[in-house]
Structure 1
C-alpha cells in the first residue's frame, strides 16, 4: 500500500518537531556519508555502526573494527579512513564492520531513533530505495543531514528526487516536500553543474576532493538499502 504522507525535514535541528511514530525515516547526506554507507554495504561490509562523536568511535579500537572518522570534510588523524566512497571498495571493506563518525550524517541517523525504520538514501541506490519505499504503508520522512544543522542544497535536491518518484494520488506532501521537488526539477538536467554552487561542493573543491562529488551523483550503481538494526546499519534483507 502507498505511504500516507511524505514530509521533508530540511535540517536535523528540526527533527524534534516531527512525529516519528508510524514513519520510515530516510537519512540523506549525499556528500558523502550516506553515499559511502550505501556503497560500503553493497561492497560486502558486514555492518556500519554510526556514532556521533570521535571519542565513541575510538572506543571500538583494538576490537577488530575498521574505524572511520570525518570532520569538516577531512579524515581525522589516526583513523583508517573517513567518508570518501573511494575508501569503501570491496578490497577494503568486504566482511568488515566499520565504525563511522561524520560531521553531519551519523548524527542525523542517531537522532532518528524512534522511527518505525531508519534507512540511508543516496543517488547511488535511488531506484532500489524508491521501489522499497513504495511498498511501505507508513509515513515517509526525508531527513536532510545538512551542514552543522544548516540547510544543504544537495541533500534537499535528493529529497526532491525521491518526492518526484514517490508522489502519487492520495499521498500528502508537506510544504518542504513541494519545495524540495521544485529544486530537483530545476536541477535534474545537470545535477553536477547545479550543485557546484552548493556550499559543501565548494568546501570539497577547496579540499581537492571533487572526484567524490562526481561519484556521489551517479545513479543506480548499487541496490543495497542500509537499514538500522540495533546499533548497526546493515543491508536490508529483502534485496
Structure 2
C-alpha cells in the first residue's frame, strides 16, 4: 500500500525521499488557492519563480507579472496572489509569472527531486484526492508554511487530504496524524479555528478577509495544476 506523509515546512523537506512521490504543494493563504482558481478560470499557464527580480526576465514576453511579499502586492506588478485577481476576465488564455513569499519557493524545492508536483487547496480538495487515489503512488503533502516555519492553515488542508486518503494509503508519520487530528477538530468552522493563527493577524492588517474566506471554500474547482518544466498547467 502506498503511503502518505506530511512535511510541515519546506525546511524539513530534505528529510523525505520524494523521488518516487507525488508532492502536493500547499499554500492556502493564498498562493495555491489563487493558482488553482486561475487554472480553473482558463489561464494557459502560471510560471512560479523564486524571486521578485526573476519576474522581470519575462517582462517582454507579453505575460502578466504577479509578485507578492508579506501579503502585499509588490509595487510595479500587475497583481499579487489574491484569488480575485485570477478571474476568467483577467487570466483566461494568459500566462502569468508569479512569485510569492512561501508557495513558489516550496514548488521549486519540491521540483528538484519529486516524481511529480501538483498544487492543492481547499478549492480543489476532492479533485486532488481523487487523483492521488487513482495514481496510487506515495504522497508527500508539503506545507509551504510561513518563511520556513509551521503554520495552521496549510496543516489543516494536509489533514483534510489525510482524512480522505487514510483508507487507501498507509499514514506514514506523526505529522500526518497531527494534521488529521487538527483538521477533525477544526473542520466544523475552519475560519473560526484560524482566528488564532499568526497569519490571520497579518492578513487582518491587510484587510483581505474576503480572500481568506474564499480560500477556505471546499470544492469550488476541479482543476489540478501540475508543474511541467517551468510552468504550472492544468493536469490533463
TM-score by length of 2: 0.98
Report how far residue 170 of structure 1 moved: 5.8
Counting only pairs closer than 5 Å after superposition, residues 111-122 of structure 1 correspond to structure 2 as 111-113=109-111, 114-122=113-121
- Identify the match of residue 50 of structure 2 among 41, 49, 52: 52
The whole-number CA distance in structure 1 between the counterparts of 2:41 and 2:16 is: 33
- How many angstroms apart in 1 are the aligned matches of 2:17 and 2:143? 16
Contact map agreement 2:133 2:168 (CA 8 A) in 1: no
Runs of 4+ aligned structure 1 residues displaced above 4 Å come to none
CA distance in 1, matches of 2:65, 2:140: 29
**Cα distance, 1:169–1:124 mapped onto 2, change above 3 Å:** closer
Distance, in Å, in 1 between the alignment partners of 2:169 and 2:14 is 26
Report 1:190-209 matches (<5 A).
190-209=189-208
Aligned to 1:107: 105
- Once superposed, what is the RMSD of the aligned Cα atoms? 0.9
CA distance in 1, matches of 2:55, 2:46: 11
Which ranges in structure 1 are unaligned for 5 or more consecutive residues?
none
Q: Which residue of 1 aligns with 2:19?
A: 21
The equivalences for 1:58-137 within 5 A come to 58-113=56-111, 114-137=113-136
Q: When you count helix as a share of all residues, which structure comes out higher?
A: 2
- CA distance in 1: counterparts of 2:37 and 2:195, whole angstroms: 22
Give the direction of change, closer, same or farther, for the CA distance of 1:175–1:90 in structure 2 (3 Å limit): same
CA distance change for structure 1 residues 229 and 85 in 2, over 3 Å: closer, same or farther? same
C-alpha distance in 2, partners of 1:131/1:185?
20
How far apart are 1:142 and its partner, in Å?
Answer: 0.2
* Matches of 1:17 and 1:174, distance apart in 2: 12
What's the CA shift for 1:169?
5.7
Q: Which runs of no fewer than 5 residues in structure 2 stay unpaired?
A: none
User: What does the per-residue CA deviation read over 1:128-187, in whole Å, with 9 as the maximum and x for residues that have no partner?
Assistant: 111111012211000000000000100001100000000016623311000000000000
Counterpart-to-counterpart distance in 1, 2:218 and 2:24? 17
